[in-house]
Amino acid sequence: MPVEREDQVHAVPVERAEEHPAFELGGNTITSLAAPSRGAHEAALFRIDLPPGGGLPPHHHDHLDVFAMEAGSGTFHIDGETFELATGDSVVVPAGAVHFLEAGDAGASIVVTMLAGTKLIRADDGSEIVPPWVS
């Protein structure tokens, strides 16, 4: 069914699981579930699978970041605080908050959503990118 906007009309696409592009980053697999380049013009939705003992490096974003622990567990760090996360827990990360995740012994799978075009800014060197799974 078309969704009407002031400037355009877009069909709501269905993308099958086997069509989702996947990316490797630091030993993690990122599967893009919806992205602006494939019809989700205002938001991105993706899953990150972290191996046992793996993790995401310290970073922050220029927009908020929301995620839920889909499977496994992990230790989440944000602005100097630490939280243990289990399956079903969710987190809202404010823009600019430095955060990172360490996967538990069985690994972790998180589902993340953020605004289209959100920048990933690494804490170690300040480098900025707009990853392909959010563009």
Span 86-116, pLDDT tens digits: 999 999 999 999 999 999 999 999 999 999 9
User: Which structural domains are found in the chain, ordered by start?
Assistant: 19-134 (2.60.120.10)
Q: What is the pTM of this model?
A: 0.89
pLDDT tier at 5, thresholds 50, 70, 90? very low
DSSP 18: G
C-beta of residue 60 within 8 angstroms of C-beta of residue 121: yes
Q: Which of 12-16, 59-63, 76-80 has the lowest mean pLDDT?
A: 12-16
Distance CA 45, CA 25 (A): 17
Residues shown for the chain: 135
59: Cβ–Cβ under 8 A, 6 or more apart, which residues? 98, 99, 100, 120, 121, 122, 123
E strand segments, 17-125:
22-25, 28-34, 43-50, 55-61, 65-78, 81-86, 90-93, 99-115, 120-122
Q: Which of 121, 120, 101 is nearest to 111 (CA)?
A: 101
